[in-house]
Amino acid sequence: MLTRLLYAFLKARPYKKSLVKYRSHKIRAEIADTFAKQMIGLMYRERIGNNEGMLFPLLISGRTAASVTMLNMKFGIDIVWIGEKHLIVDIARNARPSSSIFGRTYSPKAKAKYVLELKAGAASKMGIRLGERVAF
């Protein structure tokens, strides 16, 4: 209930946006730049469009800080973890939502400074690979 109220509060305020570039692909990303926005993420949304995403700039680099739990999500996503030098350090394809607080947590295999969430299947469609650079 508290997260739904927070979602309604955040929805009424526009998110900053950034253009994330990977090779020739351009992704319009909302920036989750506060603790509240990062906690809510894509919760309660009905969908995410093609070439859309959410970018999470983390306060500290790490594996735990970059973990993603998909509680109250309505669709699957691809999770792209990006290191401090904007290099892709890990990818989770087609991560599935959870209806329980004890659901699966997705964590990168290496330290990440940013998390980019995309529509499920987008990472494969764009050919996103480890070690490649992302610009934003």
Which tokens go with 72? 């109250």
Note the pLDDT of residue 46: 94
* Residue 92: partners with Cβ closer than 8 Å, 6 or more residues away: 68, 78, 79, 106
Note the pLDDT of residue 71: 87
* Residue 24: partners with Cβ closer than 8 Å, 6 or more residues away: none
Note the pLDDT of residue 57: 97
Note the pLDDT of residue 6: 65
Note the pLDDT of residue 8: 75
Residue ranges of the chain with per-residue pLDDT less than 50: none
Note the pLDDT of residue 136: 95
Note the pLDDT of residue 13: 76
HSE (side-chain half, CA atoms, 13 Å) at 6: 14
> 15-126: which CATH architecture?
Sandwich (2.60)
pTM here? 0.91
Note the pLDDT of residue 1: 62
